[in-house]
Amino acid sequence: MAKQADATAPRAPLSRERVLRAAITLADESGVETLTMRGLARTLGVEAMSLYNHAANKDDILAGMVDAVVSEINDAVAEIDVPATEWRTAMRRRILAARAILLRHPWAPGVIESRTTMSPTMLRYFDSLIGLFREAGFSTDLTHHAMHALGSRALGFTQELYDDSQELGPDETAALLQQLAGEYPNLTAMVSEITHDADTTLGWCDDQFEFEFALDLILDGLERLRDAA
Amino acid sequence: MAKQADATAPRAPLSRERVLRAAITLADESGVETLTMRGLARTLGVEAMSLYNHAANKDDILAGMVDAVVSEINDAVAEIDVPATEWRTAMRRRILAARAILLRHPWAPGVIESRTTMSPTMLRYFDSLIGLFREAGFSTDLTHHAMHALGSRALGFTQELYDDSQELGPDETAALLQQLAGEYPNLTAMVSEITHDADTTLGWCDDQFEFEFALDLILDGLERLRDAA
DNA sequence: ACCTGAACACCGTTCAAGT
DNA sequence: ACCTGAACACCGTTCAAGT
């Protein structure tokens, strides 16, 4: 039935590029857990087994997807020009640029963490950060520790431990807090005090602010250690 | 064939407790990716479907496993007695105790991160950390930011981005570094300098040291912010 | 109340067959 | 060289049947 344009307009031939692009779009829109070989093939108008002509297996596809996203990051970082003297702002800009891109690919953090080997593009990104530290006068050792301390934050993400996406209304929030006050007194006190000052729902964490807060905390500490040496 | 003790010694009856314990042992030993309902049932000498009498589904089992591990952490933390005045050492001891337990359950970090809702035991643990901050004179706001800045580190883990478990010999290391020096000059320079000073393999990162380094960096920063207020 | 066997609706992947 | 259909070896889970 979907065979209008067949011989005359041969549907763009499959390629690794096209497979990966489709996989990323699909994961962006409906989550990586719904990314199946059969489903991916369907969006490409092809049978599942055809994918194996352009990727070794599903793992290879996931690797390619990560690689594409990190390439995006490398491209964005390449366009940032901050005088080499201002390492702090240069570092900040790069990491926040990475974060901005990862926010558009919510599946990426999980997939990145689940992979054991680092892709060449990832190595390239980290190499650039290391270069920035070294130029800024950080010792080799301190640079090494700095990279570990940043961890996944260097790539612009931290896996949150809880999900505050299920926003509760102010009434529900108040009721829930009251109910939990006995068991978790400190937590409920903190939440109610903060939500009282800000808006009145439970969706009370500004992820961007918290990310930058922790990032600055770490960069401050590293700078201090560098200057103390 | 494995039916020696049947009627007289009725194999301890199944229970949620027993299912979870078996699941944890199995995941500890062979990884969570090999934890299947059928496999878990086999180790319990039962059919897969019997498990559904004691757990709603596999997700419920994973939730129970996390809960058991965090309970272990809560128990360990409860035994730490540090004078309330020394918040730094108290915080450090708790978090490192959590880490020690998670090291025995390598699957736990991944499962914890993949869950969206926080279990009561987890809330209890975080409640205690929040209490520690508050008693130490941290404002509500700063305490909130502190918990975010610690993130999963509060529970004793950070998901590493690469796997240095595949240790290379010194010759292989040297060869690999030489080969990669062109593409990743800063990275290879750092690695070769550090491995030269320490042992000569590529398994060159002391995870415990790096964990404590980053933890202290964050705690230092937080203390400074508290005192600046 | 608890356990079981067969079955269902999915996976990723192999293989021989098509063009 | 690329695509396909049928099949295989797995999943988690449902359901009717056993005791």
pLDDT digits (tens), chain A, 229 positions: 333 333 333 456 789 999 999 999 999 999 999 999 999 999 999 999 999 999 999 999 999 999 999 999 999 999 999 987 899 999 999 999 999 999 999 999 999 999 988 999 999 999 999 999 999 999 999 999 999 999 999 999 997 787 666 667 777 878 888 888 999 999 999 998 988 776 555 567 899 999 999 999 999 999 999 999 8
Nearest-CA distance B198 → chain A (Å):
11
B166 within a domain of the structure (yes/no): no
What global pTM score does this model have?
A: 0.92
Query: What's the domain count of chain A?
Result: 1
The answer to whether the CB atoms of A117 and B144 lie below 8 A apart is no
| B132 belongs to a structural domain | yes
A49 CA, D2 C1': Å apart: 11
pLDDT of residue B36: 98
| CA quadruple B19, B21, B22, B26: dihedral, nearest 10 | 140
Residue B95 within any structural domain of the chain: yes
User: How distant is C1' of C7 from CA of B6, in Å?
Assistant: 29
Q: Is the CB of A50 under 7 A from strand D?
A: yes
Report the gap between the CA of B69 and the closest CA in chain A (Å): 15
pLDDT of residue A5: 36
Closest nucleotide to A37, Cα to C1': C12
Gap between the Cα atoms of B214 and B221, Å rounded: 11
Cβ contact B37 with chain D strand, < 7 A: yes
Query: Nearest residue to C11 (CA, C1')?
Result: A36
Strand, helix or coil for residue A45? coil
Please name the member of B114, B127, B158 whose beta carbon is closest to the beta carbon of A187: B127
Q: What is the pLDDT of residue A199?
A: 59
User: Which residues from A are below 8 Å from B183, CB to CB?
Assistant: 120, 123-124, 127
Residue A108, domain member (yes or no): yes
Angle at A27 between CA A26 and CA A28, to 5 degrees: 90
Angstrom distance (rounded) from CA B44 to CA B172 = 44
Q: Alpha helices, DSSP H only, in B136-169?
A: 140-150
Instruction: Give the domain CATH number at A225.
Output: 1.10.357
Q: A33 lies in a domain?
A: no
Residue B124, domain member (yes or no): yes
- Which residues form the domain of A149? 83-158+176-229
Distance CA B72, CA A60 (A): 38
The packing angle between helices B207-228 and A140-150, to 10°, is 80
Interface of A with B in 160-199 (CB under 8 A): 160-163, 180, 183-187, 189-190, 193-194
Chain C bases closer than 7 A to any CB of the protein? 2-6, 10-16
For residue B153, the model assigns a pLDDT of 97
| Contact by Cβ (8 Å): B12, B18 | yes
Give 10-residue mean pLDDT values along chain B (229 residues).
Answer: 37 87 98 97 96 97 98 97 91 98 97 92 97 97 97 93 70 84 95 76 80 98 96
Interface of A with B in 87-146 (CB under 8 A): 110, 112-114, 116-118, 120, 122-124, 126-128, 130-131, 134, 140-141, 143-145
C-alpha separations of B79 from A146, B90, B119 in Å? 33, 11, 21
* Beta strand ranges found along chain B (DSSP E): none
Q: How many interchain CB pairs under 8 A, A with B?
A: 145
Q: How far is the CA of A159 from the C1' of C15 (A)?
A: 41
How far in angstroms lies nucleotide C2's C1' from the CA of residue B44? 15
In the 8-state DSSP scheme, what is residue B117?
S
pLDDT digit string (tens) for A158-194? 977 876 666 677 778 788 888 889 999 999 999 989 8
Cβ-based neighbours of A137, under 8 Å, separated by 6 or more: A226
Q: Quote the pLDDT of residue A198.
A: 65
- Look at residue A1 in the predicted model and tell me its pLDDT: 35
- Predicted pLDDT of residue B164: 66
Give the nucleotide with minimal C1' distance to the Cα of B56. Answer: D13
Determine the distance in angstroms separating the CA of B130 from the nearest CA of chain A, rounded to an integer.
Answer: 6
Whole-number pLDDT of residue A85: 83
Own/partner contacts of A113-116, CB < 8 Å, gap of 24 or more, are A113/A152, A113/A159, A113/B110, A113/B113, A113/B159, A113/B161, A114/B110, A115/A62, A115/A63, A115/A66, A116/B162, A116/B163
Tell me which H or E stretch contains A91.
Answer: helix A87-102
How far is the C-alpha of A88 from the C-alpha of A136, rounded, in Å?
9
Q: Which of B159, B213, B225 sits opposite A149 (nearest CB)?
A: B213
Indicate yes or no: strand C within 7 A of the C-beta of B10: no
Nearest to B118 among A155, A162, A218 (CB): A162
Q: Is residue B19 part of a domain?
A: no
| Tokens encoding B47 | 């059919």
Look at residue B152 and tell me if it is in a domain. yes
